[in-house]
Amino acid sequence: MAMEPTEITDVQQSYKERWGWHDPERPVHKPRRGLSREVVEEISWLKSEPEWMRRFRLRAYERYEQKPLPTWGADLSTIDFQSIYYFLRATERPERSWEDVPASIKTTFDRLGIPEAERKHLAGVSAQYESEVVYHQMKQELTSRGVLFTDMDSAVRDHAELVQRYFATVIPPGDNKLAALNSAVWSGGSFIYVPPGVKVEIPLQAYFRINAESVGQFERTLIIADEGSFVHYVEGCTAPVYSSDSLHSAVVELIALPHSRIRYTTIQNWSQNVYNLVTKRAVAHEAAVVEWVDGNLGSRTTMKYPAVVLTGRRAHGEVLSLAMAGPGQCQDTGAKMTHVAPETSSLVVSKSISKGGGRTSYRGLVKVLPGATGAKANVRCDALLVDEISRSDTYPTLDIQEQTAAIGHEATVARIGDDQLFYLRSRGIPEAEAAAMIVRGFIEPITKQLPMEYAVELNRLIELQMDGSVG
């Protein structure tokens, strides 16, 4: 592929306007803005990918061209798909210095008590630090048990057979426009394979893997839990992650083979310039369990509906979702459960908090197909509106085509109760603290499912965000 030397305009122009700073650029291969067949071919060529992947990308690109953007949900009309760099090598990622990081983010780090080294990583100021060692030790331990944990690009090269067998089987490129886009230009993401019977006790954290590469824009993650295995994967972090990319569109596929269990925990706290449009779906085979724990705190707009397709008898799916929307934010999140096989069960618990004019939506679907006898599903959505200018919407859909299925949905929208506040204040607790306490109690069903350090940080973060919002 010939690479045209293209004019580089200031990539960070918009950030300069927004944040008052920008990154100097030192591109190596002269990346181009916008998307075309050539760009897709170039990505594949730069990665020296096998032919099947190149063709897969091109097919996906065609689907991307045909598909319309969703007309429901958040407003996506302001995304300019032709102004985005679809591929930057790690070395081409802009470097920036600690001084450039916005003060508000630094303050948050301070108040969350995040260690110095981590702060720089989180702020995207590069990071090669001790965790590299941690990662290698962990990796050795895992390798000895046959667990594969690597980035997706390496997996295409090194574990071709597994990848080819499962890649895009849960989310085909034509699934939706953004999945098609990801399929065409994906880069990075995790690949995990857990052999039969292996139970990985410690959560695998993307955090350790990606520190050297920085977080990708179009990540592609594939996790396969073989029969009877267990794995808990944790992605993201509670502290704000500063990203200069305005569009993040990942695709995550989970395959839970019979009797296995996958737990996938995401805490997303992108800076508020990011559109976070993610397609996540799992297939649960017989008696398998898939749990999505999904926390969305950051980004300008998130559209994310983790899904579980329950194809095996007695499979179980769960989505525990937490969304918090502050000023200017729109968290359009939810869950989808498709019951295909008999005696499958699912549970959705969604908690959302809107404040300062933020907007949260729960958008969900429970579908029970004919033949899924005895399927059970329960959906519970609670929304808390902190002030009068915020907004909360609930759009659940129950599509039940099986007589013996028992399906329930419940939702409430309310504010922090005066009586609750009064009670706590009568016990001598200041109003702001009382409000934070109530919010902590409100989201507890989710936080108690998180690894401890995440739960602690999340609670602190919520306290921080609730500061001065009541009273």
For the CB of residue 371, give the shortest distance to other proteins in the complex, in Å.
10
Site for other proteins in 413-442 (CB under 8 A): 413-415
Given candidates 85, 129, 395, 451, which one binds other proteins under the rule CB under 8 A? 395
- Binding segment (CB under 8 A) for other proteins, from list 37-45, 133-141, 232-240, 411-419: 411-419
Determine if 258 is a binding residue for other proteins (CB under 8 A). no
Given candidates 3, 133, 406, 464, which one binds other proteins under the rule CB under 8 A? 406
Question: How long a stretch of residues is the chain?
Answer: 471
For the CB of residue 412, give the shortest distance to other proteins in the complex, in Å.
5
Q: Which is nearer to other proteins, 347 or 456 (CB)?
A: 347
Report the amino acid identity of residue 267: I
Q: Which is nearer to other proteins, 206 or 383 (CB)?
A: 383
The span from the CA of 323 to the CA of 446, in Å, is 10
Q: Answer for the pair 393, 361: CB distance below 8 angstroms, yes or no.
A: yes
Determine if 401 is a binding residue for other proteins (CB under 8 A). yes
* H or E element in which residue 265 lies: strand 261-268
Q: Which is nearer to other proteins, 253 or 402 (CB)?
A: 402
What DSSP character marks residue 95?
P
Q: Answer for the pair 205, 236: CB distance below 8 angstroms, yes or no.
A: no
Report the amino acid identity of residue 384: L
Q: Which is nearer to other proteins, 116 or 388 (CB)?
A: 388
Going by C-alpha positions, the residue among 119, 230, 217 that lies closest to residue 457 is 119
Q: Which residue has the tokens 């075309």?
A: 36
Given candidates 179, 407, 421, 436, which one binds other proteins under the rule CB under 8 A? 407
For the CB of residue 41, give the shortest distance to other proteins in the complex, in Å.
33
Q: Which is nearer to other proteins, 89 or 380 (CB)?
A: 380
Q: Which is nearer to other proteins, 154 or 404 (CB)?
A: 404
Determine if 80 is a binding residue for other proteins (CB under 8 A). no
Which residue pairs, CB below 8 angstroms and at least 24 apart, start in 76-81? 76/275, 76/277, 76/301, 76/303, 79/246, 79/247, 79/275, 81/34, 81/35, 81/181, 81/247
What DSSP character marks residue 189?
-
Determine if 69 is a binding residue for other proteins (CB under 8 A). no
Instruction: Supply the Cα-derived Rg of the chain in whole angstroms.
Output: 22
Site for other proteins in 349-388 (CB under 8 A): 370, 383, 385-388
Binding-residue total with other proteins (CB under 8 A) = 35
Determine if 72 is a binding residue for other proteins (CB under 8 A). yes
CB-based contacts of 10: which residues, under 8 Å, 6+ apart?
16, 22
Binding residues for other proteins (CB under 8 A): 71-72, 370, 383, 385-415
